[in-house]
Structure 1
């Protein structure tokens, strides 16, 4: 279209020249009397006709050239659009193929593994639930507890680890049991000591509000003559740097205020279920070195949550620093490691 517009200028110029010649010719010829009026008119008509033919021919030529250019442009644009659509289609096909391949891999590989893991987790949870129910029933019958006991598991100790504690209370008949952490487990241990015929429990709790709730719970079961809940806020201690495997670990810089433990002596059983994990690395380590000098020869330490790597590392440190100790790993939902002196 641009070439057509460009070709219009010479066409108009040629037309103007022809028109001018057609107008001037009769006058010029008549002035010089070279032709008659009729001949002049005929000559003018022929010139005009020839000019018109010339103009039409030029216009046809320009139109044809413009059409060729337009056709070429259309072909070029069509080819570009076709190639672009082809590339987009190819990329779309490739993307769909890649997606289809990923879906196939998920169906053939990931889904069966995920299904297997889910099935395994459900089966494991079912076994745990059954074992905890069995342990709960055994504890209730053995201890002759009240009909409505505080719930276990979750933040509280699980029935299976309490079964371990009750077994050692029945065997050791300790005069004094120390528990780090308080709550539902304090009530169950209180019932175990009452059944054993003596002994008392000192439960050490860092949270003052929770300690008060534990005291209320103990009193509601009539065990406040056996169970004492002491509030011992977490206070600053000197952290240590220890090597665990290939890792350098900086231990927790807080532990229970040791002043609340100063009057304890003759400890026969220690249940280590605190401080909470958020206190820091190896937060439960200080329990054994702090209490060991105040324990009986046949003392037993029970470390809860021993399936956690941090608690296992705590037990490793205890054994390394006290070679007279022996560790027994009890089967429990959260893991329970029992430490006692060898040969006792």
Structure 2
């Protein structure tokens, strides 16, 4: 963890104090991997399911590098969303972030009902999708709807980052997403494993 934080702070010397991490926060080495992908790809739109430390770090990098990237951050917990919004504004990092309160409601996907985000009716094309919600406690394979629901908005070159990929429920989601072998899946053995998915070239 310390080496990852050291690398992040060396890269972004003006980062300042970070909001307190929670048990749900992205691990530092996973955050560093995410930031490197953001730097290399320079996506127009990043959509993240689950706001927090990742939002703050991405916004800081976007500002530092003068990128045109916009972050669409989806969060089900209104109190937590307001906390993230307050922290972003306090650091002047809110210009590139659209925070969306999306309560979890039942949604039917392929004949099964899941509690999932109530998304805006219109969504932009997504170049990078970060799946870090809904929380595990909300149900079995709670994150599965992400790809079926959002596949039509993903650009052909889109990168999907799935956090917590060392968890069985997340691995089960990934296996289901890739049951037709449409994706190249890579697992990255970090503090908490992440997986990256990209469509076959």
Structure 1 324/201 Cα, relative in aligned 2: closer, same or farther at 3 Å?
A: same
User: Does the 8 A contact of 2:109 with 2:145 survive in 1?
Assistant: no
In structure 2, stretches of 5+ residues that fail to align are none
User: Does the 8 A contact of 1:176 with 1:268 survive in 2?
Assistant: yes
Q: Which residue of 2 aligns with 1:143?
A: 12
- Deviation of residue 153 (structure 1)? 6.0
Deviations 1:33-54 (A, max 9, x none): xxxxxxxxxxxxxxxxxxxxxx
More strand by proportion, 1 or 2?
A: 2
User: Does the 8 A contact of 2:114 with 2:145 survive in 1?
Assistant: no
Aligned residues: 200
- Deviation of residue 277 (structure 1)? 0.5
Distance 2:109 2:45 in 1: 29
- Deviation of residue 240 (structure 1)? 6.0
After TM superposition, list the pairs within 5 Å mapping 1:190-339 onto structure 2. Answer: 190-196=59-65, 197-238=67-108, 253-258=114-119, 260=120, 262-321=121-180, 323-339=181-197
Deviations 1:291-330 (A, max 9, x none): 2211221101100111010000000001114x22110101
User: Does the 8 A contact of 1:206 with 1:232 survive in 2?
Assistant: yes
Q: TM-score, normalised by structure 2?
A: 0.93
Distance 2:113 2:38 in 1: 31
User: Does the 8 A contact of 1:178 with 1:203 survive in 2?
Assistant: yes
Question: How large is the Cα RMSD of the aligned pairs?
Answer: 1.7
- Deviation of residue 183 (structure 1)? 1.6
Return structure 1 stretches of 4+ with deviation > 4 angstroms. none
User: Does the 8 A contact of 2:161 with 2:195 survive in 1?
Assistant: yes
Q: Which residue of 2 aligns with 1:178?
A: 47
User: Does the 8 A contact of 1:255 with 1:275 survive in 2?
Assistant: yes
Distance 1:237 1:294 in 2: 18
2:57 to 164, 188, 197: 188
- Deviation of residue 252 (structure 1)? 5.6
More helix by proportion, 1 or 2?
A: 1
- DSSP 3-state at the match of 1:253: strand
After TM superposition, list the pairs within 5 Å mapping 1:7-22 onto structure 2. Answer: none
Distance 1:182 1:338 in 2: 19
Bigger relative contact order, structure 1 or 2, given CA contacts below 8 A and separation 6+?
2
- Deviation of residue 267 (structure 1)? 0.9
Distance 1:320 1:143 in 2: 39
- Deviation of residue 230 (structure 1)? 0.6
Larger gyration radius, structure 1 or structure 2? 1
- DSSP 3-state at the match of 2:179: helix
User: Does the 8 A contact of 2:8 with 2:32 survive in 1?
Assistant: yes
- Deviation of residue 227 (structure 1)? 1.3
